Amino acid sequence: MSYLFNTPEQQQEMLQTIGIDSLEALFSTIPADLRLDRPLDLPPALSEMELQTHLSQLASQNVGPTSRICMLGGGAYDHFIPAAVDEIARRGEFYTAYTPYQAEASQGSLQTFFEFQSLICQLTGMDVSNASLYEGGTCVSEAAFMAMRVTNRHDRVVLLGSLHPEYRQVVETYLRHLNCEVVIVPCKDGSVDPADVDAAMDDQTACLVIQHPNFFGTLEEAAELTEIAHRYGALSVVSYDPISLGILKRPGDYGADIAIAEGQSLGTPLQFGGPYLGLFSCSEKFVRRMPGRLIGQTVDRNGKLCYVLNLQAREQHIRRDKATSNICSNQGLIAIRAAVYLSLLGKQGIREVAELSCQKAHYAAEQLSSVEGIELLFPERPFFKEFVVSCSEGADYLLRKARQAGFDLGPELSRFTFENCPENYQTGVLVAITEQRTREEIDRLVTVLKA
């Protein structure tokens, strides 16, 4: 967006239009102690050429995943993005802030979101998907609210201790003033014991929230945990890694009621905080309780195929207290990127990405654990593409040594708070390996750490 300025003459013209004679009068409603009574402390103005040079120098100090070797995990991953994703998603007609309320003006956007929903259903094995939410964390809280509406139980939800700690914080923030108890099942050794989950459930629990693969990268007994949830009349909410479904069972295949995910790995590059993409799908019998937008396919009065916004249980359309969510927007452009990515790769492509990530991660885990002083924190647990290592010299030493050689690992687990988990979790460091990493890179990291 261009910087818009105005001259003193233009300021006077605007002030006269609204019927006052000075800027002082315009700002008179702002308390004096909140107003700055001096000019802004800015350096002298630069010419356009000087400014461009200055900004280029600042930008050159940035370091991104393309300039270093990224093995970062914890919810956002460095997967390969085909060039066609950018080429298609950057089409001008997709770059719009307009929301697709009016079918007569938004057929292209509506069709795109309908196809996105269809692809998410195929990916997860669920019956219906919405047109996306903000990101993975808010998906968890929206799923908990939806479970409360479905079960008419509003006092208790159960989360696995292996759920992403930031997702847990989002849920706790949403529920803090609603008198809803949030129960955390201990994660003793990289994943939870189903017997502990069973002990935590009761007939007042609205849902059991599972992450599979979990925050530590290991696999949970998702099918058994889903059965436990159903035994108590609660909904099974599964947070999944979209790429993992290339080789793992889909949530719909083992009876999950709600499947949610962070969709960044589907064609969106690593960005500092987003925007990312919330994937939300569920069983058809709960569709009228689902938050967000749902795009449907129908025919017009001439029998021509068209797309519409269905089941609009949102604040703009019904009474606020009857809305299914306080989220009234979807991540349209990021959802388009995900739809393009999934369309380009197809079922076989997703499987290949998953297999490569899994195989390379296991090779990396084996090689790293051969370094003296480094060991896997959960050696007995199966994992997908991410694992936790512990260093006898400390997490800071490990991260610094890798960083100096051009490798980015982490995050370190000490950044987070894990309730009801052993203290040794604080010594761990997450390592994520995607299909982009090569054997040469992994071997080079091991050589650096052995030196």
Q: What is the pLDDT along the chain (451 residues), one digit of tens a residue?
A: 455 678 889 999 999 999 999 988 999 999 989 998 888 898 888 999 999 999 999 988 888 777 899 999 999 999 999 999 999 998 888 876 566 667 777 888 899 999 999 999 999 999 999 999 999 999 999 999 999 999 999 999 999 999 999 999 999 999 998 989 999 999 989 999 999 999 999 999 999 999 999 999 999 999 999 999 999 999 999 999 999 999 999 999 999 999 999 999 999 999 877 889 999 999 999 999 998 889 999 999 999 999 998 877 665 666 666 667 666 677 889 999 999 999 999 999 999 999 999 999 999 999 999 999 999 999 999 999 999 999 999 999 999 999 999 999 999 999 998 877 777 788 899 999 999 999 999 999 999 999 8
7 domain-assigned: no
- Can you give the residue range of the structural domain that contains 175? 83-341
- Both structure tokens of 317: 């359309």
CATH number of the domain enclosing 172: 3.40.640.10
Same domain, 394 and 433: yes
Same domain, 284 and 384: no
Q: Residue 274: left if φ>0, alpha if ψ -120 to 50, beta else—which one?
A: left
Q: What is the pLDDT of residue 98?
A: 60
CATH number of the domain enclosing 424: 3.90.1150.10
Measure CA of the first residue to CA of the last residue in the chain; give whole Å: 50
- 213 cis-preceded (ω within 30 degrees of 0): yes
Domain boundary among 316, 341, 366: 341
Domain boundary among 285, 307, 341: 341
26 domain-assigned: no
Domain boundary among 277, 306, 341: 341
How many separate domains does the chain show? 2
Helix or strand holding residue 450 (H, E):
helix 439-450
Same domain, 438 and 314: no
What residue type is 430 in one-letter code? L
Alpha-carbon distance 210 to 221, whole Å?
A: 9
Helix axes 395-404, 439-450, angle to 10 degrees: 120
Q: What is the pLDDT of residue 4?
A: 67
What are residue 63's DSSP bridge partners?
Answer: none
Alpha-carbon distance 300 to 26, whole Å?
A: 52
- Both structure tokens of 11: 């300021």
206 domain-assigned: yes
**Residue 314 has what DSSP assignment?**
S
Collapse the DSSP code of 229 into the 3-class scheme (helix H, G, I; strand E, B; otherwise coil) and give the result: helix
User: Computed over its alpha carbons, how large is the radius of gyration of the chain?
Assistant: 25
Same domain, 318 and 363: no
Answer for the pair 238, 451: CB distance below 8 angstroms, yes or no. Answer: no
Answer for the pair 257, 237: CB distance below 8 angstroms, yes or no. Answer: yes
